[in-house]
């Protein structure tokens, strides 16, 4: 049996890791705002956040492709600043993944923050903790399960994406050929053994990650208010 | 040892409106001793407390404390909760579940820095000692009993070194036995740390034992404000008795201790009472007693020997028959105190009770204020 190249696997892990980190930074404040706001804009923002769940990946990919093309403002700016195009690049893939996986980060975090209630934060404020202090020392530790769930879902979802990647990134070895694209190509060219190895590897990986999450989740203390 | 200067007050002129409920309180409260905020559930006690803490975003009006303005909606002043030097405990305790008791105390301790104008005189070891927290330090909140949780929460509130302490029904979630367990700690709190306290409660016995003065709230309005004995004596508790059980607070002087029967003799306007021995009060000091109306029986003659030891003579000054029930509430003038008794309408008729007739009040039981030196 021919061993397939491991480049696509490595690229997928890098992409998913980077997308998870970026989304943790962007998604946490957004989820916090959604969980606490009484603004009338909330349902609109929630709908926008949830769009990637219901849109076909090709639709999302199509608009992202238009946005990143050198003729659009974003793509043009990118070309000016970096001298490379955003489409068919790792950076382009990362931006697309962040948009595509946004609800997988925001929704579990929002649910975790909402389930906190106002109690612990009021208690912290009464003990002179500023809002940021209270978030870091009370809300975040009490939402550990939410963070874990959000990170795992985001990571796994990014590993599994196909349509958006194909639209925005194409299939450039070492740059944009991620594992799902590689499997697709192996199948298209009838190299089933290699497709098999990658597919089975991905299956095993997903299983191991999920088992780890469930075990870890069980060990985390449950904080019932 | 009170950290607040003489004359410091909490000035309230505050309105909070929800759908179907509004609170409108205008009252200056001296920042000294323990002030009870008393009223039935739904009267706005907790809302008032939350407005003082800064948790009611829709509060309007003015709240000031010792020269600092925390709220002045007319001038757009609204000090955020974490900048108000107020400490509080919540009905449900609200200890941080991810920290043990030690961690919860430390959380407050680390953040109460002197530049916030906090009361400096609270020391961690004193707090641990006063509330017997040492055996609980390593434990997580979910392993604590309700009473232990309230003690830890009290300790945490004290360690935020507040200039004003707000206690929101610390006993309401506890059963009778646990209440008795916590009461001595609550009683010792103010004398030991001297922090002005607002104590929210709907239980008349807690108020009678703990408070120096009472603010009575009903339907979001102040009904009465004044010294505990006067307010509880004058207040027409009749509309509230369904919930509160009418009661009277008596102030008596310690006469002597009886070593053989372990009793303490008290003098009340020249009449004698005996109660289980009060160890820490010396003859001449005053003791506060709470007598529930349902624990008082009336007789028209001094009864022949019974197991009831405390019989007071007085004059019946009011008799309110509640025709919708079997009961009547009698008020007996004892001299400088008025005692309430809850008897059946049938007994009132059989005894031929009428306003102005001399009666004897039989006290089946009394509760004691166990504070030292008050």
Spell out which residues of chain B touch residue A138, defining contact as CB-CB under 8 Å. 96, 98
> Which pLDDT does position B241 carry in this prediction?
44
What does pLDDT average to over chain B? 84
Interface of A with B in 182-211 (CB under 8 A): none
> Which pLDDT does position B176 carry in this prediction?
75
Task: Give the integer Cα–Cα distance in Å for B157 and B176.
Answer: 24
Q: Determine which helix (DSSP H) or strand (DSSP E) holds A132, and give its type and residue range.
A: helix A131-134
> Which pLDDT does position B119 carry in this prediction?
57
Task: Answer whether residue B373 shows pLDDT above 50.
Answer: no
A14-29, pLDDT tens digit by residue?
A: 899 999 999 999 999 9
Among B49, B111, B143, the residue to mutate for chain A (most A Cβ within 10 A)? B111
> Which pLDDT does position B124 carry in this prediction?
87
> Residue B156 and residue A127: Cβ atoms within 8 Å?
yes
Tally of residues, chain B: 374
Average pLDDT estimate for B112-139: 80
Q: Does A39 touch chain B (CB under 8 A)?
A: no
Mean pLDDT is highest, among A160-174, B122-136, B174-188, for: B122-136
> Residue B53 and residue A225: Cβ atoms within 8 Å?
no
Task: Give the integer Cα–Cα distance in Å for B209 and B187.
Answer: 8
Residues B63/B68/B69/B75 CA torsion (nearest 10 deg): 160
Task: Answer whether residue B116 shows pLDDT above 70.
Answer: no
pLDDT tens, N- to C-terminus, chain A (225 residues): 455 577 888 888 889 999 999 999 999 999 999 999 888 999 999 999 999 989 888 898 899 888 888 888 888 888 888 888 888 888 888 999 999 999 999 999 999 999 998 899 999 999 989 999 999 999 999 998 899 889 988 998 898 888 888 888 877 777 778 888 888 888 989 889 888 888 888 888 888 888 887 887 777 655 543
Count A/B contacts: CB-CB distance under 8 Å.
Answer: 70
Query: What percent of chain B is modeled with pLDDT above 90?
Result: 27
Cα–Cα distance list, B268 to B271, B276, B312, B334, B342 (Å): 5, 16, 9, 9, 21
Task: Give the integer Cα–Cα distance in Å for A183 and A199.
Answer: 7
Cα–Cα distance list, A35 to A29, A99, B178 (Å): 10, 20, 37
How would residue B32 be classed by pLDDT, with cut points 50, 70 and 90?
Answer: confident
> Which pLDDT does position B374 carry in this prediction?
39
ipTM over 0.90: no
- Joined tokens for residue B306: 């019974």
């Amino acid at each position: 049996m021919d061993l397939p190249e491991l480049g696509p696997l490595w690229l997928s892990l890098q992409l998913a890791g980077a997308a998870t980190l970026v989304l943790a930074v962007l998604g946490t404040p957004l989820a916090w705002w959604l969980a606490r706001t009484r603004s009338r804009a909330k349902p609109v923002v929630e709908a926008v956040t949830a769009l990637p769940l219901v849109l076909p990946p090709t639709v999302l990919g199509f608009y992202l492709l238009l946005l990143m093309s050198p003729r659009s403002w974003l793509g043009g700016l990118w070309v000016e600043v970096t001298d490379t195009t955003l489409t068919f690049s790792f950076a382009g893939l990362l931006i697309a993944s962040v948009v595509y996986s946004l609800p997988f980060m925001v929704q579990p975090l929002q649910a975790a923050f909402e389930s906190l209630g106002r109690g612990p934060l009021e208690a912290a404020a009464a003990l002179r903790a500023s809002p940021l202090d209270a978030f870091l020392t009370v809300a975040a530790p009490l939402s550990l399960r939410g963070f874990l769930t959000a990170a795992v879902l985001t990571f796994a979802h990014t590993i599994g994406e196909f349509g958006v990647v194909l639209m925005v990134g194409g299939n450039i070895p070492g740059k944009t050929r991620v594992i799902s694209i590689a499997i697709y190509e192996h199948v298209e060219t009838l190299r089933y053994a290699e497709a098999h190895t990658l597919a089975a590897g991905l299956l095993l990986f997903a299983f191991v990650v999920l088992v780890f999450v469930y075990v870890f989740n069980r060990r985390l203390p449950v904080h019932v208010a | 040892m009170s950290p607040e200067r003489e004359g410091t007050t909490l000035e309230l002129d505050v309105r909070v409106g929800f759908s179907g409920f509004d609170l409108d309180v205008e009252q200056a409260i001296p920042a000294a001793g323990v002030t009870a905020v008393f009223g039935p559930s739904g009267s706005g006690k907790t809302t008032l407390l939350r407005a003082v803490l800064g948790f009611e975003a829709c509060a309007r009006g003015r709240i000031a404390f010792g020269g600092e303005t925390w709220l002045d909606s007319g001038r757009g002043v609204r000090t955020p909760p974490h900048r108000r030097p107020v400490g509080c405990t919540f009905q449900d305790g609200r200890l941080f579940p991810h920290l043990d008791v030690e961690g919860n105390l430390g959380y407050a301790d680390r953040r109460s820095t002197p530049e916030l104008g906090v009361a400096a005189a609270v020391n961690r070891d004193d707090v641990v000692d006063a509330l017997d927290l040492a055996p609980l330090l390593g434990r997580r909140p979910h392993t604590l009993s309700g009473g232990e949780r309230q003690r830890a929460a009290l300790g945490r509130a004290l360690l935020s070194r507040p200039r004003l302490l707000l206690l929101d029904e610390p006993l309401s979630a506890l059963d009778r036995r646990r209440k008795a367990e916590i009461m001595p700690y609550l009683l010792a709190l103010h004398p030991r740390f001297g922090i002005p306290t607002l104590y929210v409660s709907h239980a008349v016995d807690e108020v009678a034992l703990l408070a120096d003065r009472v603010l009575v709230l009903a339907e979001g309005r102040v009904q009465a404000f004044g010294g505990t004995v006067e307010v509880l004596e004058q207040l027409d508790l009749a509309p509230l008795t369904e919930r509160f059980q009418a009661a009277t607070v008596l102030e008596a002087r310690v006469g002597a201790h009886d070593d053989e029967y372990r009793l303490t003799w008290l003098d009340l306007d020249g009449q004698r009472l005996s109660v289980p021995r009060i160890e820490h009060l010396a003859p001449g000091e005053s003791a506060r007693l709470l007598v529930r109306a349902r624990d008082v029986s009336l007789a028209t003659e001094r009864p022949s020997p019974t197991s009831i030891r405390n019989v007071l003579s007085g004059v019946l000054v009011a008799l309110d028959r509640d025709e919708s029930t079997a009961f009547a509430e009698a008020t007996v003038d004892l001299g400088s105190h008025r005692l309430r008794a809850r008897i059946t309408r049938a007994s009132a008729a059989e005894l031929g009770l009428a306003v102005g007739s001399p009666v004897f009040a039989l006290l089946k039981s009394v509760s004691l204020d166990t504070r030292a030196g008050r």
